[in-house]
Amino acid sequence: MSGKDFFSFLLDETFKLQEGGEKKLSRYELKLTDYSLSYLKGEFIPQIHALRFKGSLGTLDIPVNWSFFEDCSDDIVLSKEKDQDHFFEVVTSAWNPQITKLLVTHADGFCYLVALKAEEEIHLRDLQNHQEWLEVA
């Protein structure tokens, strides 16, 4: 993502998706499924400047001006220790209290919230290095 912040990248990818029409299962989702990780897939809604996730929690709209997106040009890893705005606390209490890390990342024009329990944190490095595993796939 060099040169673009998280918001700009998602905005560009959203417009590419809308132009392309067809949506398919991404390689990133296949990787998450291979690891049996819990995740929410969201898309950027330009009209309300929010990321919209649909899942077992219902519909979750996250405003892109939430402070953890500020000055962010890469993936975001939130934890109990790194949670200045209580986003991690809110999401984990509603989703699964056993989550120890929450990865906010993007692939193929979508944003993903990936829930990691302590024993699943070994996958974090791999999940953050998209190009590394895409070349192997």
Condensed to tens digits (0 to 9), the pLDDT of residues 81-102 reads: 998 889 899 889 989 999 999 9
Of 110, 89, 99, the closest CA to residue 29 belongs to 110
CB atoms within 10 A of CB 39: 20
On average, the pLDDT of the chain sits at 81
In Å, the largest CA–CA distance within the chain is 40
Each domain of the chain, given as residue ranges in start order, spans 6-136
Condensed to tens digits (0 to 9), the pLDDT of residues 47-86 reads: 998 999 988 778 989 888 888 777 666 788 999 999 888 9
User: What is the reported pLDDT for 136?
Assistant: 47
**Is 41 a residue whose pLDDT tops 70?**
yes
Phi-psi region of 49 (alpha: psi -120 to 50; beta: other; left: phi over 0): left
Q: What CATH class has 6-136?
A: alpha beta
Residues 116, 124 contacting (CB under 8 angstroms): yes
User: What is the reported pLDDT for 65?
Assistant: 84
User: What is the reported pLDDT for 89?
Assistant: 93
- What phi and psi values does residue 109 have, to the nearest 5 degrees? 85, 0
User: What is the reported pLDDT for 94?
Assistant: 87
User: What is the reported pLDDT for 39?
Assistant: 93
